[in-house]
A and B are shown apart, each in its own frame.
Chain A
């Protein structure tokens, strides 16, 4: 059963870059076509940040105004999130998740499975 696990610093200084990694286990990284990141600010709802296709194509939430980038390292069964110029508004639980597809890579769009999430606090 595919499992995802987020890792990274729990605190980031304002104006710095947030960097998180999602490690995939229990299945073949290369057999999944897409990977993605979602976050949830304290007491708030879910916000899609971005997704990456196995061929390297990336898709980002326009509301983040170019601050977000996603990359992957299939050799390590990992994909990563970078968020630049962070502020207190970026304090959130960050989840990695897999957008589901059919066997040919046709996106169904729903996220399954999800990681447990990791809290990142932006504070000095």
Chain B
């Protein structure tokens, strides 16, 4: 069973700064099956990145995903107040879907 561990738990940043979110898999996974989601308060998750680095439709290029093997990263450049949310990584493999525990980003 793949376990995804996200860090940090919470990240407080100022507007305009850059945030780096980490997602570490318990064993090597294919980058094809690694996705990132953004969940604002009281909202459903929104797909940001799939295939480790492909932005979903309508996602600003401030959001960049990268990584391979066990280490994956979501970078958010030029943070804006509306980027305040919880960010989840997610993996699919062997007919199972797994989520990381999430990183809360506070922009203030």
A residues with a Cβ closer than 8 A to B are 36, 38, 45-48, 51, 59, 61, 95, 99-100, 107-117
Partner of A108, one of B44, B46, B50, B101: B50
Residue of B nearest to A111 (CB): B47
Contact A45 B101 (CB under 8 A): yes
B residues with a Cβ closer than 8 A to A are 32-33, 35, 37, 39, 44-47, 50-51, 56, 86, 88, 90-93, 95-102
Contact B35 A110 (CB under 8 A): yes
Contact B44 A112 (CB under 8 A): no
Cα distance A54–B92 in the bound complex, in angstroms: 18
Q: List 17 A-B contacts (CB under 8 A).
A: A38-B45, A38-B97, A45-B88, A46-B88, A46-B90, A48-B97, A48-B99, A95-B45, A108-B51, A109-B90, A110-B47, A111-B35, A111-B45, A111-B90, A111-B97, A116-B44, A117-B44
Question: Among A36, A46, A110, which residue has the most Cβ atoms of chain B within 10 A?
Answer: A110
Partner of A115, one of B39, B44, B51: B44
Cα distance A79–B65 in the bound complex, in angstroms: 32
Cα distance A59–B96 in the bound complex, in angstroms: 7
Chain A residues with CB under 8 A of B92: 99, 107-110
Given contacts A59-B95, A99-B92, contact A109 B102 (CB under 8 A): no
Residue of A nearest to B97 (CB): A48
Contact B90 A110 (CB under 8 A): yes
Cα distance A45–B88 in the bound complex, in angstroms: 8
Question: Among B37, B39, B50, B97, which residue has the most Cβ atoms of chain A within 10 A?
Answer: B97
Cα distance A38–B102 in the bound complex, in angstroms: 15
Given contacts A36-B97, A61-B96, A100-B50, contact A45 B102 (CB under 8 A): yes
Given contacts A45-B88, A95-B44, contact A108 B100 (CB under 8 A): no
Cα distance A109–B94 in the bound complex, in angstroms: 10
What is the distance, in angstroms, from B3's C-beta to the closest C-beta of chain A?
12
Chain B residues with CB under 8 A of A45: 86, 88, 99-102
